[in-house]
Chains A and B, each alone.
Chain A
């Protein structure tokens, strides 16, 4: 892959951004590589206006741009067709507007999610975006990557609490949608399209969120089961109860082994249900009582409460579940299977069989609402193992479709992407997505080829 960025263009780009704000050195550019494609330059604009200028330059010179933040999730999607300039937005890292009494926030896209959480905690508030790669991830990258968090059980996903955004368009214009108020039907919610778009529509420069008050107390209940069936049954009992846990996961033994921490151990031979809950002391006491009762009714081998010592530790591990699973194999593929939770019993079985058939170890982390992270963990990264991985991945797509849902493979080795589209089989919706892409980016400036359907 060669870049369209000639030395003459590089010089002009440098003049535009300032020598201090640009990276040309091949070693340093490795950080920005997407699927082993290294851009010709990385530019770090100091303002949204400058970011727009750079995009205008790229548009005029027909350069392909990928907006990046902490570079922690650049492996998502298919390999880009072209990639000339990394638009590194990490210097846009301020809170633009925050009045805690409003319960809304406007923050620059380049701010780290961990730093944001710290600042909000100072006002006893938070944004329910406990994203993986916490220490590196930025707000913009987390939104654009579309990752979810364990808190989605109660607080939903980014689409549920993003209330507006500012961005640079593919024409290099600064534009926005939504606003700083929670209830808003003024104009189209373009910011919702940016969620999970992998930077293929716009470069986010600022994001507005709804914020939430931090609860007085946060704890969790961990129930373990010899079989998946018990865990599935407990989830169902919780869903039918008046309880509304903040997070709710089913964790297979293989996943438990990777997520478990010395200070908050999970038995690697058992299935687990991990329910996080929050509120006042009286309320968390009620959760503890009820969850213990429900776990017993579901035939749990063991149930225990994780308190202020254990839960923060395990909670951080759970947040990082995907990187932990990826680290478990030299060629790990983590599939995201979205089905209704009533299908868990059916697909847990078929997914594990699909992996076993290909002699692959597998692990399941299922969110209570129906999103199942299914990790395929080959012991080696050679051609033969990849062939088995590809076959198993195809079966995952079939299983998801048969259960009335769908699957993608957000994280996997580059070699697998050459055999299987990580977006799964084409769907009728793609034609409409193509229209959307053309409306935003007719020339294919932003991350061409990375998105579903080659968009």
Chain B
């Protein structure tokens, strides 16, 4: 069956747009997550029409389909769980239209996130959602996952910036939803489809809003003796009617490891730092920077550095942006979580994460979006040590359970995918999931599009799935073919 499908796909797209040899497919069995899943054939369509035809062919052969941008996702959203066809949007990477006056752009899904900003920044505009992988990840992937980023605190996530989509349905039909304005005519299908993790439609064109660059930006780094002081400062900043553009926290231990790596002059002996960015009119940025400085000092900050120019600001951000890479050096493997909690619970959550780490024998790094309570605890471990591995999985599950207990949730920006789907019942009742399932089935009636994602399969045991890739990684380490840490 699959051989015939491959043959037909080659006839449709040309041989150079279809991969089916094992050594080629191996490159596509990974994404940024700790999962693996190998497609049977990978295709690179160039147009919406081609996508539609690929979908029709797959349907004819009963093959499942998964869409993929750059494969930087962290929850296995772009990996197949049941083989079949992988549709890679790398060749649909054109910016189709930019409307400077109205601050809009229309892009193909394969456009890399920062490439859009690069194309419009000469006019003082930019595309606001800024996931950490923005130099590689695609806007199509961002749409599927409803990606966030440090600056979404003030400017919102992908869903707040997408006004319209062109999509291919599971029967190959091409439909437009939404438009150039954010007023939906009828149900807000665009709002539903952004973040549906590729389980309802394939997105082939995206209409987005562009934002105007702020007149002034101030970047501050505040150094605290404890995580508790830093979290109190975060809550207090809001009480002063300030919504920073970004508000990131790192614990002191993590910062020291970053300093080992970067040697950029970060303190090695503090409890936590806050990296805060305020922006807007020059007057607003100056006043807010002053107010933030005061708040941080009032909460015991021993030092507040304010970047004097863009270069210094970049230096302050470098620590944050290279953090996961720096941490990756410390252990053969690492696993990053994406739990969310109400912000006022930050001190509680930090304490519990530390405890859970200690009980299970891990140092857990914390590098996260404090402003919106989106935690990224990073567990460092050695996958070759079976016992350690089990403990890492258990610890991760316990942390996410605790996030939910605190009134939070499983994932703030990485997606559920095939990583946390067995945990969904922690957040949602059978009635919630049944309704969500009906909505998925309304778009994906035969379950051929990205099967095995988001919803509990009933086969797992209520745990995070981080097994596949790690086992493989461990095996290859044993055999001397290290694949490096699964760092982000």
Hey, which bits of chain A sit against chain B, CB under 8 A?
A: 97, 99-104, 124, 146, 148, 156-157, 159-160, 169, 173-177, 179-190, 192-193, 195-197, 201, 212-216, 236, 239-240, 242-244, 279-280, 282-283, 285-286, 336, 338-342, 369-371, 404-406, 408, 423-424, 427-433, 435-440, 451-453
In the bound assembly, the distance between CA atoms of A174 and B374 in angstroms comes to 28
In the bound assembly, the distance between CA atoms of A182 and B148 in angstroms comes to 11
B159 in complex: contacting residue of A189, A239, A432, CB < 8 Å: A189
Known A186-B409, A188-B192; contact A283-B281, beta-carbon cutoff 8 A: yes
Give the nearest-CB partner of B412 in chain A: A183
* A185 close to B241 (CB less than 8 A): no
Q: Inside 8 A of B414's CB, which chain A residues have their CB?
A: 185
In the bound assembly, the distance between CA atoms of A339 and B374 in angstroms comes to 35
Least distance between B354 CB and chain A CB atoms (Å): 21
Q: Any chain A CB within 8 A of the CB of B337?
A: no
* B340 close to A184 (CB less than 8 A): yes
B414-447 contact mask (Cβ, 8 Å, vs A): 1 or 0: 1110001000100111011111101111110000
Q: Any chain A CB within 8 A of the CB of B254?
A: no
B339-351 contact mask (Cβ, 8 Å, vs A): 1 or 0: 0111110000000
Q: Which B53-106 residues have a C-beta within 8 angstroms of A? A: 99, 101-104
* A452 close to B186 (CB less than 8 A): yes
In the bound assembly, the distance between CA atoms of A181 and B441 in angstroms comes to 27
Known A160-B156, A183-B413; contact A436-B189, beta-carbon cutoff 8 A: yes
Give the nearest-CB partner of A242 in chain B: B215
In the bound assembly, the distance between CA atoms of A210 and B175 in angstroms comes to 32
Give the nearest-CB partner of B177 in chain A: A429
What 5 pairs across the A-B complex have the smallest Cβ distances? A192-B191, A213-B241, A242-B215, A101-B344, A183-B412
Least distance between A255 CB and chain B CB atoms (Å): 19
In the bound assembly, the distance between CA atoms of A430 and B186 in angstroms comes to 8
In the bound assembly, the distance between CA atoms of A186 and B412 in angstroms comes to 7
* B184 close to A196 (CB less than 8 A): yes
Q: Inside 8 A of B133's CB, which chain A residues have their CB?
A: none
Q: Any chain A CB within 8 A of the CB of B448?
A: no
Q: Inside 8 A of B177's CB, which chain A residues have their CB?
A: 429, 432
Q: Any chain A CB within 8 A of the CB of B146?
A: yes
* B287 close to A242 (CB less than 8 A): no
* B373 close to A342 (CB less than 8 A): no
* B181 close to A175 (CB less than 8 A): no
Q: Inside 8 A of B281's CB, which chain A residues have their CB?
A: 242-243, 279, 283, 286
Q: Inside 8 A of A190's CB, which chain B residues have their CB?
A: 192, 435-436, 439
A339 in complex: contacting residue of B181, B283, B372, B434, CB < 8 Å: B181
B143-187 contact mask (Cβ, 8 Å, vs A): 1 or 0: 001101000100011011000000001000001110111111111
Q: Which B304-361 residues have a C-beta within 8 angstroms of A? A: 340-344
In the bound assembly, the distance between CA atoms of A196 and B192 in angstroms comes to 13
* B435 close to A101 (CB less than 8 A): no
Give the nearest-CB partner of A284 in chain B: B283
* B242 close to A213 (CB less than 8 A): yes
A187 in complex: contacting residue of B145, B372, B413, B416, CB < 8 Å: B416
Known A192-B191, A429-B185, A433-B189; contact A101-B343, beta-carbon cutoff 8 A: yes
B428 in complex: contacting residue of A176, A432, A433, A453, CB < 8 Å: A176
Least distance between A155 CB and chain B CB atoms (Å): 10
* A214 close to B343 (CB less than 8 A): no
Q: Any chain A CB within 8 A of the CB of B482?
A: no
Q: Inside 8 A of A179's CB, which chain B residues have their CB?
A: 340, 407-409, 427
* B342 close to A180 (CB less than 8 A): yes
In the bound assembly, the distance between CA atoms of A179 and B424 in angstroms comes to 13
Least distance between A339 CB and chain B CB atoms (Å): 7
* A408 close to B188 (CB less than 8 A): no
* B181 close to A369 (CB less than 8 A): yes
In the bound assembly, the distance between CA atoms of A316 and B169 in angstroms comes to 45
- Would you give 18 A-B contacts (Cβ < 8 Å), ordered by A? A97-B407, A159-B159, A173-B435, A174-B431, A175-B432, A183-B373, A184-B411, A186-B409, A187-B416, A189-B159, A190-B192, A192-B188, A195-B184, A342-B102, A429-B189, A433-B189, A435-B443, A437-B187
A156 in complex: contacting residue of B160, B284, B342, CB < 8 Å: B160
Q: Any chain A CB within 8 A of the CB of B195?
A: yes
Q: Inside 8 A of A146's CB, which chain B residues have their CB?
A: 184
Q: Inside 8 A of B441's CB, which chain A residues have their CB?
A: 439
Q: Inside 8 A of A173's CB, which chain B residues have their CB?
A: 431, 434-435
A286 in complex: contacting residue of B169, B242, B283, B373, CB < 8 Å: B283
Given contacts A175-B435, A179-B407, 12 further A-B contacts (CB under 8 A): A99-B344, A124-B241, A181-B412, A183-B152, A185-B416, A187-B427, A196-B184, A213-B239, A240-B212, A242-B214, A408-B185, A439-B435
Q: Inside 8 A of B431's CB, which chain A residues have their CB?
A: 169, 173-175
Least distance between B125 CB and chain A CB atoms (Å): 10
In the bound assembly, the distance between CA atoms of A101 and B234 in angstroms comes to 9
B372 in complex: contacting residue of A183, A189, A243, A424, CB < 8 Å: A183
Give the nearest-CB partner of B440 in chain A: A188
* A186 close to B411 (CB less than 8 A): yes
Q: Inside 8 A of B212's CB, which chain A residues have their CB?
A: 240, 242
In the bound assembly, the distance between CA atoms of A442 and B431 in angstroms comes to 16
In the bound assembly, the distance between CA atoms of A192 and B215 in angstroms comes to 33
Least distance between B127 CB and chain A CB atoms (Å): 17
Least distance between A202 CB and chain B CB atoms (Å): 9
In the bound assembly, the distance between CA atoms of A429 and B167 in angstroms comes to 11
In the bound assembly, the distance between CA atoms of A99 and B235 in angstroms comes to 11
* B99 close to A340 (CB less than 8 A): yes
Q: Inside 8 A of B283's CB, which chain A residues have their CB?
A: 280, 282-283, 285-286
Known A174-B431, A177-B432, A189-B159; contact A371-B409, beta-carbon cutoff 8 A: no
In the bound assembly, the distance between CA atoms of A437 and B438 in angstroms comes to 10
B192-225 contact mask (Cβ, 8 Å, vs A): 1 or 0: 1011100000000000000010110000000000
Least distance between B69 CB and chain A CB atoms (Å): 16
* B188 close to A193 (CB less than 8 A): yes
Q: Inside 8 A of A99's CB, which chain B residues have their CB?
A: 342, 344
In the bound assembly, the distance between CA atoms of A21 and B374 in angstroms comes to 43
* A340 close to B342 (CB less than 8 A): no
A181 in complex: contacting residue of B179, B187, B409, B415, CB < 8 Å: B409
Q: Which B263-304 residues have a C-beta within 8 angstroms of A? A: 280-281, 283-284, 287
* A175 close to B101 (CB less than 8 A): no
* A101 close to B238 (CB less than 8 A): yes
* A186 close to B179 (CB less than 8 A): no
In the bound assembly, the distance between CA atoms of A236 and B103 in angstroms comes to 11
A102 in complex: contacting residue of B160, B187, B214, B344, CB < 8 Å: B344
Q: Any chain A CB within 8 A of the CB of B369?
A: yes
Known A101-B235, A439-B439; contact A186-B410, beta-carbon cutoff 8 A: yes
Of A186, A285, A429, A432, chain B has the most CB atoms within 10 Å of the CB of A186
Of A185, A190, A369, A438, chain B has the most CB atoms within 10 Å of the CB of A185
Give the nearest-CB partner of B438 in chain A: A439
In the bound assembly, the distance between CA atoms of A181 and B438 in angstroms comes to 25
Q: Any chain A CB within 8 A of the CB of B454?
A: yes
In the bound assembly, the distance between CA atoms of A90 and B189 in angstroms comes to 28
Of A174, A341, A432, chain B has the most CB atoms within 10 Å of the CB of A432
Q: Inside 8 A of B238's CB, which chain A residues have their CB?
A: 101, 103, 213
Give the nearest-CB partner of A442 in chain B: B438
Give the nearest-CB partner of B433 in chain A: A187
* A185 close to B102 (CB less than 8 A): no
Q: Any chain A CB within 8 A of the CB of B243?
A: yes
* B185 close to A427 (CB less than 8 A): yes
Least distance between B48 CB and chain A CB atoms (Å): 14
A159 in complex: contacting residue of B104, B182, B186, B287, CB < 8 Å: B182
* B182 close to A156 (CB less than 8 A): yes
* B342 close to A436 (CB less than 8 A): no
Q: Inside 8 A of A439's CB, which chain B residues have their CB?
A: 435, 438-439, 441-442
Least distance between A276 CB and chain B CB atoms (Å): 15
* A183 close to B369 (CB less than 8 A): yes
In the bound assembly, the distance between CA atoms of A175 and B434 in angstroms comes to 9
* B148 close to A159 (CB less than 8 A): no
* B152 close to A193 (CB less than 8 A): no
Known A186-B424, A187-B432; contact A338-B412, beta-carbon cutoff 8 A: no
